[in-house]
Chain A
Amino acid sequence: MVAPGGAVRGALRGASRWTLVLVLLALWELGGRTLVTDPRTLLFLPLPSTIAAAAWALARDGSLLVDLGRSGGRVLVGSLAAVLVGVPLGAVVASWPRVGAALDAPLRLVRPIPPIAWVPLTILWFGVGELQQVVILFFAAAFVVMAGTTDAVRGVPPTLLAAARNLGVPERGLLLRVSVPAALPGVAAAVREGVGTAWFVLVAAEFLSASEGLGVLILEGRDLLEPARTFVGMGALAACGAATDLALGALQARLTRWT
């Protein structure tokens, strides 16, 4: 039961989270206006109002939306592929010790390679384009999702499996009745972390071989000597990353209400 006023209090608490952010932005704006006199400083370190104006301009001519769409689409497709491959692979590695043992050495060797190191090869293999971009994000996220899934499935308490068998679940029924729900919280956390990683790797991948996207917008700030664009790109990235994480967090909480 939500007590009367509970919703209001919840909203206030949600808003108060962002208070410090707003205060810092206000200080930045005021400080810049009162203390900085050299216009070149304001060019290289633009005020929030300048950045907001640049964002508005980019939004109006539609290019911000295009960049957002491109980047968001890449993260979405890359993460989705990472989940589709990483979750089953992680589950197999955890459930079949022999597969896990066989894959251990190759994974140990491949994992430390930063996803960005795959850029040259993926360009040679797939050409410059969406596929190449997505493959980089997929690599980055898939390892995270797979490792988290492996841990989650390995962590399924043996007593729960024994209890389920004792209560009449046949061997083939254990996966759906016990392993999947028991591992779900860990897998959900791994997926969330994987998507976060995809956002993290996105910019570097776009720097190296994309013509549209938030990474490109961030680079343009330098190329066009308009650092406000760079700030818009960084701000958009921050907002997207945070929004995705909040949404996935809410979904995770819904799916695993029992934890």
Chain B
Amino acid sequence: MSKAVALAGVRHAYTEAGTGRRVEALAGLDLNVAAGELVAIVGPSGCGKTTILHLVAGLLKPDAGSVTCGGAPVDGIGTDRVLVFQDGALFPWLTVAENVSFGPRARGEGTGRTAELLAALGLDGAADRYPKELSGGMRQRVALARALAVDPAVLLLDEPFGALDALSRERLQDVLEAAWLRDRKTMLLVTHSVEEAVRLADRVIVVSPRPAAVRADVRVDAPRPRDVTALGEIRRTIAQMVRTPE
């Protein structure tokens, strides 16, 4: 299968605002994602997961190494790789429908697949509401629909359900899985829930504490929809790896 996303020997360090100290987030990370694959990244908080997504999204540039998407080097932000932020980053002055059609309208393509996406993600009844009138789960549905509306080759999800209660979280996982089964988009899902990773991903990448390096690459072969209780073994193994500091 072709490589949709590839990171090779990627290094990235931040300069701390106050002290000027260098914080090394990635020190030579290698990661390959095939086209149409749903890959989850799990690891301790602060290890560099967001940094990985921001590099692929083009929000950040690597200090060394290469980041490619569909074989071409990533050069800045592009609509072929869309990031879904943890809090959704919805535009508060736009209604649900206007948020979803934002991308197509920005490119002069009318409202695109907005109607279809609203229906698919269960947002029909909320089309004319403003984000502040929505629950956390609804907001993340909008964020997902808004990203899918520009039809990116790669969808980058940064702990998209991290702030939700258990019930909404499960429903949103179903929504995401359905969207993936329908379009088979390449997805890179950062999550701190091992259960979520095992439930949704073809592969779970476990990264080490900062600077992030790939510690394990676990293939999950169970058929979908998955019953996570039946995947206890693999969950325990991964959780164990995330916890131990090496």
* Interfacial chain B residues near A173, Cβ < 8 Å: 106
B interface: dominant SS = loop
Count of chain A residues with a beta carbon within 8 Å of a chain B beta carbon: 21
A169 CB contact (under 8 Å) in B57, B87, B106? B106
CA distance A33 to B77 in the complex (A): 77
Stretch at the interface among A67-75, A100-108, A125-133, A178-186: A178-186
User: Are B77 and A162 interface neighbours, CB within 8 A?
Assistant: yes
CA distance A258 to B83 in the complex (A): 24
CA distance A35 to B93 in the complex (A): 58
Given A181-B91, A181-B93, A184-B93, does the pair A164, B132 have CB atoms closer than 8 Å? no
Task: Determine if A60 is an interface residue (Cβ-Cβ < 8 Å).
Answer: no
User: Are A166 and B83 interface neighbours, CB within 8 A?
Assistant: yes
| Minimum C-beta distance from B111 to chain A (A) | 13
A258 CB contact (under 8 Å) in B78, B85, B93? B93
Given A157-B89, A181-B93, does the pair A257, B130 have CB atoms closer than 8 Å? yes
Q: Which residue of B lies closest to A177 (CB)?
A: B106
A163-205 vs B: 1/0 string, CB under 8 Å? Answer: 1111111000100011001101000000000000000000000
Task: Determine if B103 is an interface residue (Cβ-Cβ < 8 Å).
Answer: yes
CA distance A257 to B95 in the complex (A): 11
Task: Determine if A259 is an interface residue (Cβ-Cβ < 8 Å).
Answer: yes
A238-259 vs B: 1/0 string, CB under 8 Å? Answer: 0000000000000000001111
Task: Determine if A37 is an interface residue (Cβ-Cβ < 8 Å).
Answer: no
Q: Which residue of B lies closest to A159 (CB)?
A: B89
CA distance A184 to B77 in the complex (A): 26
A207-247 vs B: 1/0 string, CB under 8 Å? Answer: 00000000000000000000000000000000000000000
* Interfacial chain A residues near B103, Cβ < 8 Å: 167-168
Task: Determine if A160 is an interface residue (Cβ-Cβ < 8 Å).
Answer: yes
User: Are A259 and B132 interface neighbours, CB within 8 A?
Assistant: yes
User: Are A258 and B82 interface neighbours, CB within 8 A?
Assistant: no
Task: Determine if B92 is an interface residue (Cβ-Cβ < 8 Å).
Answer: yes
Task: Determine if B222 is an interface residue (Cβ-Cβ < 8 Å).
Answer: no
A interface: dominant SS = helix
Within 8 A of B (CB), among A43-58: none
Task: Determine if B150 is an interface residue (Cβ-Cβ < 8 Å).
Answer: yes
User: Are A162 and B59 interface neighbours, CB within 8 A?
Assistant: yes
CA distance A160 to B146 in the complex (A): 13
CA distance A165 to B89 in the complex (A): 12
Q: Which residue of A lies closest to B76 (CB)?
A: A165
CA distance A138 to B81 in the complex (A): 48
Within 8 A of A (CB), among B68-94: 77-79, 81-83, 85, 87, 89, 91-94
Q: Which residue of B lies closest to A167 (CB)?
A: B103
| Minimum C-beta distance from A43 to chain B (A) | 56
Given A162-B59, A258-B130, A259-B132, does the pair A168, B79 have CB atoms closer than 8 Å? yes
Task: Determine if B102 is an interface residue (Cβ-Cβ < 8 Å).
Answer: yes
User: Are B85 and A159 interface neighbours, CB within 8 A?
Assistant: yes
| Minimum C-beta distance from B75 to chain A (A) | 13
Task: Determine if B21 is an interface residue (Cβ-Cβ < 8 Å).
Answer: no
Within 8 A of A (CB), among B185-217: none
* Interfacial chain B residues near A258, Cβ < 8 Å: 92-94, 130-132
* Interfacial chain A residues near B146, Cβ < 8 Å: 167
Task: Determine if B107 is an interface residue (Cβ-Cβ < 8 Å).
Answer: yes
User: Are A168 and B106 interface neighbours, CB within 8 A?
Assistant: yes
CA distance A168 to B112 in the complex (A): 14
CA distance A165 to B93 in the complex (A): 17
| Minimum C-beta distance from A173 to chain B (A) | 7
B82 CB contact (under 8 Å) in A166, A177, A178, A181? A166
* Interfacial chain A residues near B82, Cβ < 8 Å: 166-167
Q: Which 7 A-B pairs have the closest CB atoms?
A: A167-B103, A181-B93, A258-B130, A163-B89, A159-B89, A169-B106, A168-B79
List, sorted by A's number, 7 A–B pairs whose CB atoms are closer than 8 Å.
A157-B89, A159-B87, A163-B91, A166-B81, A167-B102, A168-B150, A258-B93
Known: A162-B77, A164-B106, A167-B103. 8 other contacts (CB 8 A): A160-B89, A162-B83, A164-B102, A166-B82, A168-B150, A173-B106, A178-B91, A181-B93
